Amino acid sequence: MTASLSVKERMAIHRAEMPELPAGVRSGNFKEVNRGLSQDQAVLEAQRCLQCKHRPCVNGCPVAVSIPEFVGALAAGELPKAASILRGDNALPAVCGRVCPQETQCEALCVRKVKGEPVAIGYLERYVADWAMAHPDELPPITPPAKSGFSVAVIGCGPAGLTAAGELSRMGHAVTIYEALHDTGGVLRYGIPEFRLPKEIIDREVRILTSLGVSIECNVIIGKTLSLADLSRTFHAVFIANGAGLPVMLGIPGENLKGVYAANEYLTRINLMEAGRHESAATPVLKASEVAVIGGGNTAMDCVRTARRLGAKRAMIVYRRGEEEMPARVEEIKHAKEEGVEFVMLTAPIDVIPAPDGWVGGLKCMRMTLGEPDQSGRRRPVAIPGSEFVLPAGIVVNAVGTSANPLLTATAPDLSLNKWGNITVDEHGQTSIPGVFAGGDIVRGGATVILAMGDGKRASAAIDRYLREKVAGRLR
Amino acid sequence: MFQVISNEILAENLHKMVVSAPLIARARKPGQFVIVRLAQGEERIPLTIGDADAENGTITLFVQAVGASTLNIVHTAPGGFIRDVAGPLGMPTEIRTWGRVACVGGGVGTAVLFPLVKALAAAGNRITTIIGGRSEKFIILADELRPLSENLMTTTEDGSLGERGMVTSALTALISDPDRRPEAVFAVGPVPMMKAVAEVTRPYGIETIASLNPIMIDGTGMCGGCRVRVGNETKFACVDGPEFDAHLVDFDTLGDRLRCYRDQEAASFSAAKCKLSQEVPS
C-alpha cells in the first residue's frame, strides 16, 4: 500500500509532533518528558520518507544506520523487519533515538528539509527500538555467530564500549567489559537524567548485549585494579573507552565553598546514587531555592532541569555567550524554558560570594558583549567594564567541561597522548600500541554519545581485521 | 560481591574487617584506599586499605561507625557480603629511607597509619609512633605497631593511658630533642590534629605528609567532590592524593567542606541506629 504512495502524497504529510508530559507536571518529577509516538503516528511519519536512492541521511549518522530501509519497513507496517534492520546497525537504538542531536546529523541531511521539516528519524528510531523491547517474541531469533576463538577486553561501559562490545560479539569474539563504577552505562547512567533517558532503557540495552554473550565486570579500574599490560597479556585485543573524566575547575575565588558542585558530581549524586530522589537514598545532595548553573551545553541543561526538579524556585543558566551560540540541543533549551528555567545570557562568573559558615551566598558576574570570532569560529565574549552584579545562589554548578582522566594513561607509558592528555589514534582507532584501540571521549575530549558510538563501531571493524589478519597469522 | 571473612571489634564502634578481594589484594600498595558500597541504595564511601594478603586474596579494612553507612557496614557478619569494593585507589605512599621518621595517628587515623608504619619500617626507617585518643578505649593497634616501631608513645586527653595530653605535645617533645628529631613526619587523623601537627613541624622545616580524608563519590577523579587546596592549587585527593605536603594543605577549607552534609548525616545516622536496635534487641 505504502509503496504506491506518490511523492506528492508523501510531501503532503506533516511532521509528527512528539507527545510530551506537560511542563507543570514534569518539572516536579523525573519521569521521561517525551512520551514516544503512537503506532499510527510512527507509520504516518515513516511515509514522509521519500526513499532517496543516494541516502544522504545515512551519511549524517555516525554509526551509518540503514535509515531508508528501516523507515521503509516501518512505513509498510513491517515492524519486526524494521527492528532487525535497526539492530543490525546500532547496538543502542533506544538510547540514540532519545539522546542523539538528530538536527545536526541524520535529519540535517534529509532531503525533505530543503522544503520544510526533515523526516523525524530520531522519533522513528526510538519508536522501533521501543517496540522491539516490548515485543521480543515477534523478532526473528538471533543466530549466535560462529565463535572466532579471539577474546577482546573493552575498558569502560559507556556508549563507545557498549557499541564496540555489541559489534565484536556479533563478529564471534569473546568480549569482556571492565567498568570502574558499580553499574553499567557510563554517562548514560550517571550523567543523562531519567527525564531524558530512563534507566530501564539502559538496563534493557545492556541485557540484550549480555544475552549475546558479552560479560561485564564492574568495580574494576584499569590503571589501578588491573593494568593495560595485564589486559594485553590476557586478551587478543583491547579497546579503551574510559571517557573524558576530570572536571575542569572554574578557577575563580570561592569555588571550594560548600554548595559549589562540578556538574559530574551533582549529576552522579542524583542520577547514579539517586540522592534527593527519594527518602531511602543514602547519598545526600544539597538543595537550594536559587541554583546557578554555569555553562551552555547539554550537561548544563541536564543540571539546571534537575535543580528545578529538586525544588529550586529559580534555576538559572549562566552563559558567557548568547543563546544562538549555545552548544546544547535546541530541544533541551526549549524544554528547559518551558519548565521555568531562567537564561542569564552574555554573563560570565567572576567570584563565588560566601555566605556565613562557608556556604555559597551568590555568584558575582560580569556582563559580556560578543567580539571577533575566535578559533572555534564563534564570536569571543568580551567583558563590559563596570558591569559587575551579583546573582543570588545557594548552589553553583560548574558545567564548563571535562578534561582527560590520567588514571589509565599514567600507568601505560607506551601509549601516545596529545598535549591535552587524550589518546592519539589513527583513522581506525588504533593507538601507538599494536592491538590496543581507543575511542570516545578519551580520544576526542568531551563529545557526544553518538560520536563515541561511531568510534566504537569503527574500532570494532578495525579490531576484527586486526584479529583475523595479524593475530590469526601469528597463531598459524 | 565481596565476602566478609572476619569482623572483629577493636574498640567501641571500631571494627577490623577482612574482605575477600583478590585483584585488589594483589595490586594494592600502602597509602591506597577502596570505595565501598554495602548494598543497592547505599552510598559509596572511601576506606583505607589497612593491610593486604595477596596469597589469600584478602584486604583488611578498619571501619569506624561514625554514620549510617559505616554503621551498616560494621554490622555485616562474617560470611556476609559487601556488594561493591573498587580499588586500589589513590597514589601509593612514596616510601623512602629517611632515617628517623615520626608517625602520628589520632583515633581511627591510627588504622590508616598502620600500613604506612609497616612499609616505612620495611624500608629501613627508625620509627617513633605516636598514637592518641580521648581515652584508653580509643587507643587502637598499639600491640601491632609496637614491634614495627623503635619507640611507641601513647597519649590520652584524660590520662587514662600513656601521657596525658595531645599527640602534638609528644611530637613537640620529640622534635625539641636534637638527638631524636625525625627527618620526616606522617600525620593521619582528624583535620584539627593534622593541622596542629603541620604547625608543630613547620618552624623546623621537617618534611610532613598528611593523609587527607575529604568526601568522595567515585574515587577515580571523575567528579571533583574530594578537591582540596594544596599550595594554591586545586587537587583531587582521590587521584593526586590522598597524601599531600601538610605544610601546603588548606586544612580550614578541608574541615569546612567535610561539614557539607552534617545535618543529613546526623538524621540518617539516628535512623540507622534506631533500625539496627529494632533488628537486634540487646
User: Taking 90 as the threshold, does the pLDDT of residue B164 lie above it?
Assistant: no
Provide the pLDDT for residue A244.
Answer: 73
> What Rg value do the Cα atoms of chain B yield, rounded?
18
CB contact under 8 A, A225 and B44: no
Q: With the C-alpha atoms ordered A191, A197, A199, A205, is the resulting torsion angle positive or negative?
A: negative
Give B259's contacts in chain A (Cβ within 8 Å): 258, 358
Mean pLDDT of B144-169: 90
Of chain B, the percentage scoring pLDDT greater than 90 comes to 75
Residue among A258, A269, A280 minimizing CB distance to B41: A280
Cβ–Cβ below 8 Å for A268 and B41: no
pTM of the entire predicted model: 0.94
Yes or no, beta carbons of A224 and B27 under 8 Å apart: yes
Interface of B with A (CB under 8 A): 23-24, 27, 37, 41-44, 68-69, 83-89, 217-218, 220-225, 227, 229, 234, 236, 239, 253, 256-257, 259-261, 264-265, 268
Which of A283, A357, A402, A405 is most worth mutating to test chain B (most B CB atoms within 10 A of its CB)?
Answer: A283
ipTM computed for the complex: 0.93
pLDDT of amino acid A3: 57
Q: Which residue of B has its CA nearest to A276?
A: B264
For B266, residues 6+ apart whose C-beta sits below 8 A from its C-beta are: none
| Cell numbers representing residue B52 in the block | 593486604
Mean pLDDT for the stretch of residues B155-171: 88
Choose the closest CB to A262 out of B88, B224, B229. Answer: B224
Q: What's the per-residue H, E or C state across A433-470?
A: CCCEEECCHHHHCCCCHHHHHHHHHHHHHHHHHHHHHH
Which chain A residue lies closest to B254 (C-alpha atoms)?
A: A256
pLDDT for residue A475: 64
- What's the pLDDT tens digit per position in B84-132? 999 999 999 999 999 999 999 988 888 889 999 999 999 999 999 999 9
pLDDT at B279 over 80: no
Q: How far is A141 from chain B (nearest CA, A)?
A: 33
* Residues in chain A, pLDDT under 50: 1
The CA distance from B227 to the nearest CA of chain A, in Å, is 8
* Upper half-sphere CA count for residue A6 (Cβ side, 13 Å): 3
pLDDT of residue A141: 81
pLDDT at B282: 46
DSSP assignment, residue A272?
A: I
pLDDT tens per residue, range A142-172: 788 899 999 999 999 999 999 999 999 999 9
Residue B30 backbone phi and psi in degrees, to 5: -55, 140
Residue of B nearest to A243 (CA): B222
* Interface contact flag, B41 A246, Cβ < 8 Å: no
In the predicted structure, residue B277 carries a pLDDT above the cut 60: yes
Residue B262 CB neighbour total at 10 angstroms: 11
What is the pLDDT at residue A474?
A: 73
At residue A452, the pLDDT reads 93
Angle at B236 between CA B230 and CA B241, to 5 degrees: 75
What letter does residue A192 receive in the DSSP assignment? Answer: S
How many A-B residue pairs are in contact by the CB < 8 A criterion? 110
- Beta carbons of B84 and A182 less than 8 Å apart: yes
Cell of B100: 628517623
Integer angstrom CA distances of residue A211 from A159, A205, A207, B46? 18, 10, 6, 34
* Dihedral pair phi/psi, residue B277, rounded to 5°: -70, -25
Q: How far apart, in whole angstroms, are the C-alpha atoms of residue B142 and residue B131?
A: 8
